[in-house]
Homo-oligomer: A and B are copies of this chain.
Amino acid sequence: MTSPRPSVLRVDRRRALLVELINIPSVSHHEHHLANWTEAQLRQSPHGEVLRAGDEVVFRFPALAGKSKIIFCGHLDTVPANDNQTARVEGDRVYGLGATDLKAGLAVFLDLIETLDPATLHVDPVFVFYTCEEVAYQESGLLVVERELPEVLQNTRFAICVEPTDNAVELGCLGNLHAEVTVRGKAAHSARPWFGENAIHAAAPLIERIAAVPERSVDYGEQLRYREVISATTITAGDARNVIPDTLRMNVNFRFAPDRSREDAVTVVRELVGDAGTIEVTDLSPAGRVASENPFCRVLVAGADGAVRAKQAWTDVGRFSEWAIDAVSCGPGIPAQAHQQEEYATIGAMTRSAAIFERFLQEAREVS
Contacts and interface: CB of A to CB of B under 8 A. Distances in A.
A312 interface: yes
A174 interface: yes
This protein's copies in its complex: 2
Contacts of A203: 207
A233 B242 contact: yes
Contacts of A236: 235-237
A33 interface: no
Interface in A174-195: 174, 176, 178, 189-194
B241 A253 contact: yes
A11 interface: no
Nearest to A245: B233
Contact of A208 (B190, B204, B215, B244): B204
A62 interface: no
Contacts of A313: 189, 191-192
A263 interface: no
A253 B201 CA distance: 13
A227 B189 CA distance: 13
Contacts of A242: 176, 233, 253
Main secondary structure of the interface of A (DSSP, over half): mixed
B190 A231 contact: yes
Contacts of A90: none
Interface in A307-340: 312-314
A285 to B, nearest CB: 11
B190 A201 contact: no
Contacts of A192: 227, 229, 312-313
A192 B313 CA distance: 8
Interface string A223-263: 00001010111111111111111001011010100000000
A172 to B, nearest CB: 13
A235 B238 contact: yes
A233 B229 contact: no
B255 A251 contact: no
B229 A193 contact: yes
A204 B232 CA distance: 11
8 contacts: A174-B191, A193-B231, A200-B232, A205-B208, A232-B238, A233-B241, A234-B241, A235-B245
Interface of A: 174, 176, 178, 189-194, 198, 200-201, 203-205, 207-208, 210-211, 215, 227, 229, 231-245, 248, 250-251, 253, 255, 312-314
Closest 8 pairs (CB-CB, A-B): A234-B238, A201-B211, A204-B207, A191-B313, A200-B232, A241-B251, A204-B208, A191-B255
